[in-house]
Amino acid sequence: MGEQTKASARVAGPRDGAEGGAPPVIDAAFARWLAERAGQELLRVRAELGHADGKALKAAGDKAAHDLLRAELARWRPADAVLSEEDEHARVAWRDGEPGMVRPDRLSASRVWIVDPLDGTREYSEEGRTDWAVHVALWTADACKSDASCLSAGAVAMPARHRTIATDNPPAYPPMPLESATGGAIRIAASRTRPPAFVTALAEELGAELVPMGSAGVKIAAVISGEADAYVHAGGQYEWDSAAPVAVALATGLHASRIDGTPLSYNQADPKLPDLVVCRKDLAPRLLAAISKHLPPQ
Ligand SMILES: Nc1ncnc2c1ncn2[C@@H]1O[C@H](COP(=O)(O)O)[C@@H](OP(=O)(O)O)[C@H]1O
Ligand SMILES: [Mg+2]
């Protein structure tokens, strides 16, 4: 091999593992790139398998998106730790001896990617539904200096909606809703398949309307776009369900906290993060006060 060839072998080529060239260097833009790539993979799998066997489609989608995220993170961010829904469920260690797969322990790492390869898995398997997403967030020790969530970047790709929201270009703060459009009622985004009893009681207390939809990411995106005024959840969830959309909500200037008003903390030893509220800042005091009357048992 000549010197010229040797040198060029070390330089990333235009199609060096990434379609259309190497990914962005800036983390937030990389998060967007990664979430969108996994989203395209999910669309491909959905088109290929169809909806005849929903269970098989969910499993294939989860795996395809997870494998893509895992491979690209190993390739482009090999020194960072990763917390992924699918790894936790499958109990697959990243330290499994595959080249490029050796990862630092996330609890002592200074950079941790928190990813949900497919949020709204149920909706993904249902024909015609677009309320599912890919979540990619970055937790860094550095970001803890400025925000308790320690989230320094995040992207939520909603490929079936042709929409991605990310911290590289945070969306505008949502407009105040017109009373003529909402009748003055607060619109709370809630799970379409298992809305927590606590949220139903809260809605009654506030005279609020529940807006059912799938995926935590899509619900927070709905608050950001102004389609809903708040997302309130309790009773169970994990860090990967909220990290990326909360990163975008915070970058947009929205309120995001636990339902008791304390900060959301990520990259904890136990990845359970069972409740949260995301809303416009003007709404937070009223919502938190009403929530405090309906706090579910811990
Ligand atoms: N009680 C609970 N316990 C654990 N996870 C929950 C939960 N309620 C909702 N979630 C998770 O939060 C995400 C959004 O749920 P929903 O659409 O019902 O609001 C889903 O993520 P996944 O689709 O990644 O599993 C779902 O599994
Ligand atoms: Mg999820």
Domains in the chain: boundaries: 21-166, 179-292
- The residue with greater pLDDT, 95 or 45, is 45
pLDDT of residue 103: 61
Query: pLDDT (tens digit, 9 = 90+) per residue, 266-295?
Result: 999 999 999 999 999 999 999 999 999 887
Q: Burial, 297: exposed, middle or buried (Cβ in 10 Å; 0-12, 13-18, 19+)?
A: exposed
Token pair recorded at residue 102 = 């050796």
Rounded CA gap, 295 and 136, in Å? 30
Annotation: CATH topology of 179-292: D-Maltodextrin-Binding Protein; domain 2 (3.40.190)
Q: Is 236 left (phi over 0), alpha (psi -120 to 50) or beta?
A: left
The highest-level CATH class for domain 21-166 is alpha beta
- Residue 294: name the closest of 159, 199, 208, 229 by CA: 199
pLDDT of residue 297: 64
Is 119 annotated to bind a ligand? Reply is yes
Taking the CA of residue 213 as reference, the ligand 1 atom at the shortest distance is 17
Taking the CA of residue 193 as reference, the ligand 1 atom at the shortest distance is 18
pLDDT of residue 281: 97
Residue % of the chain over a pLDDT of 70: 85
Is 254 annotated to bind a ligand? Reply is no
Ligand nearest to the CA of 273: 1
Check if the interface score ipTM surpasses 0.95: yes
Pocket test for ligand 1, best of 215, 223, 275 (most atoms within 8 A of CB): 215
- The residue with greater pLDDT, 16 or 283, is 283
Q: Which residues contact 121 (CB under 8 A, 6 or more apart)?
A: 58, 61, 62, 132
Q: Is the CB of 193 under 6 A from ligand 1?
A: yes
- The residue with greater pLDDT, 181 or 60, is 60
Is 241 annotated to bind a ligand? Reply is yes
Rounded CA gap, 223 and 225, in Å? 6
pTM: 0.90
Instruction: Give the model's confidence band at 87: pLDDT under 50 very low, under 70 low, under 90 confident, else very high.
Output: low
Q: Is the pLDDT of residue 56 over 90?
A: yes
Which pairing describes strands 111-119 and 151-158: parallel, antiparallel, or unpaired?
A: unpaired
Q: Is the CB of 236 under 6 A from ligand 1?
A: yes
Question: Chain-wide mean pLDDT for the chain?
Answer: 88
Cross-strand bridge partners of residue 128: none
Taking the CA of residue 119 as reference, the ligand 1 atom at the shortest distance is 24
Query: pLDDT (tens digit, 9 = 90+) per residue, 146-178?
Result: 999 999 999 999 999 999 999 999 999 998 887
pLDDT of residue 222: 98
